[in-house]
Every structure is written in structure tokens, then in C-alpha cells.
Amino acid sequence: MMVKIAVTSDNHLDLNKVALAPTIKQQAAYLKSHDVDYYLIAGDLFNDFQKSVDYVNQLAEEVSPIHVFFIAGNHDMIKGVSYDELENGRWPGYLNNQFVDIAGTDYRIVGINGWYDYTFATNEDKTEDEFHRWKMAYWIDGLISQPMSDPDRERIVIEQLRKQLDSAKLAGKKVIIMTHFVPNQHFIHYTNDFRFWNMANAMMGSLKFQKLIEAYQVDMVIFGHIHQRLQPITIGATTYYNAAVGYHNHRHNEWQTDHFISEWENQLKTFEIF
């Protein structure tokens, strides 16, 4: 049995001033006409979690019987949801610390929102407190409510992922991880002349997350967070997919076209499993 999977992330529908009703119709028509079976959204739909949930519900209804799953990115976490709700909420299609087995195959999709522990900021000799102060002053994640430090939050993520991978191994499943944050240091950009991004790397992801992927030889990882135009790449046993649409505004234009739907189509990554 062949199953076709399409993936996206970082649509930023509010920041990109996207008209939702016609866009949902266009996305649904595209996914149906391309015989997609599973559509996976790796976070950052809105700066408001409830808007993200509403959008996914509308899209899922429009594309049925295509399966739609999503996890939360840092932007989704800014408003409309608590830490406890992100961890334990059960909205239709929401896959954080959950899994779905793909019928007719040996594959399992594992969703994990992810977080960070500053370990990607390898060329910044800063303490945990210094990274945290910088984050609260300059990074949008300072608006996100959380009842623990960033390294403590990432430790919870790592333990969740480890348990999910152990469970998949016990069930004899190949794994597709869907996360938001950067899952491998290969994608982190270091520079000698732009200190902001060297500090921002602290908020990109975790070397511990990467090491788990490597240790369990995960088949595929879908992620977002960075808005580069990346082609799928295989590192070790794992193929990584990033399908971020990114920002289109006067100050920060990352698009290569002038319209959301064309940019979304160009950035969409698809693959088939058997």
C-alpha cells in the first residue's frame, strides 16, 4: 500500500495577512488533486493557539478523508493556551506527545512540539541565566507562559520523546517525528559578525534531541522554526524535511513569490511510504 504524505510549517497566516476562507479552499483543492493521504503541519500557524485549532478543524473538514495532524510551534504558544493545555490537551488532530500509526504500513507518526536548552549556542560562552535574560529581552518566546526553566522544559521533551521511541521500537514501527524546533545542528547557522543570531541559536533546539534521533536511527523528521529554503537531506539514518513558508512583509520578506498559496505550494514537501 502506498501512502502519500505532505508536510508544511510556519504558515504564519495572521502575520502574512492571509484570507482564510479562500485559502483553505485552495489548499484543500491542491491536496486532493495531488492524492495526498496525510497532511502534517509542524507548527506556527498563528500567534494564537485557539486560532490554529480552529483553522485545522476547518481545513480537516474541507479535505476529508485526508488526515490532518499538527503540533504547536512557539508562535502558536504565545496566546490562548497554557503550558498544561499544550502538554495534555486533546484537540482533534493535535499530536503533541501522541502518535498515529499509518494503516497498511509499518510507519508511525510521533508528534512532539519540542523546545530548547541553549545547547545549540556553541559559540556563545554564556550562563543559563544570561541566555534566559537575553531571551526575555529580545525573543518573542518571552511572551510564552511556562512554569519552569528552558532546560527543565527540554528535559521533559526529551523524556517524552524517549518513551515514544521506545514504544515504537517495541511495536516494530518505523518512525516519522513531527516537531517544530530544529532537530539537528546541521541546520544551525553560526557567524563571527552577527551576534544576535549566535544568541538566537540558543532558542533553536537541543543537541540532546538530535542525539536521541541518532541513537534510535529515526527514519524521517519533519520540522519548522527556521525559514530557510531547504531541500530534504539525509544525515546518517534520518531524512529531514523542512517546509517553512515564512514571513512576507515590508520589513522581512522571505518569499520567492508574491502570493501565499504559490509560496505554500512551492515549499510543500511530499513523500511516499509503503
Q: In the structure, what pLDDT confidence band is assigned to residue 55 with cuts at 50, 70 and 90?
A: very high
Which cell is 123 given? 559559540
Exposed/middle/buried for residue 84 (C-beta within 10 Å: 0-12, 13-18, 19+)? exposed
Upstream peptide bond of 183 is cis (omega within 30 degrees of 0): no
CA-based end-to-end distance of the chain? 5
Question: In this model, does residue 201 exceed pLDDT 80?
Answer: yes
Based on the structure, what is the number of domains in the chain? Answer: 1
In a 13 Å sphere around the CA of 34, the CA atoms on its Cβ side amount to 19
Domain containing 252 — which CATH number?
3.60.21.10
- Segment 82-123, tens digit of pLDDT: 999 999 999 999 999 999 999 999 999 999 999 999 999 999
> How confident is the model at residue 14, as a pLDDT?
98
> Would the pTM count as exceeding 0.95?
yes
- Parent domain of 37: 3-273
Q: In the structure, what pLDDT confidence band is assigned to residue 63 with cuts at 50, 70 and 90?
A: very high
Q: What is the mean pLDDT of the chain?
A: 97
- Segment 127-159, tens digit of pLDDT: 999 999 999 999 999 999 999 999 999 999 999
Question: In this model, does residue 193 exceed pLDDT 80?
Answer: no
Residues 29-51, mean pLDDT to the nearest whole number: 98
> How confident is the model at residue 192, as a pLDDT?
86
Pairing of strands 67-70, 98-101: unpaired
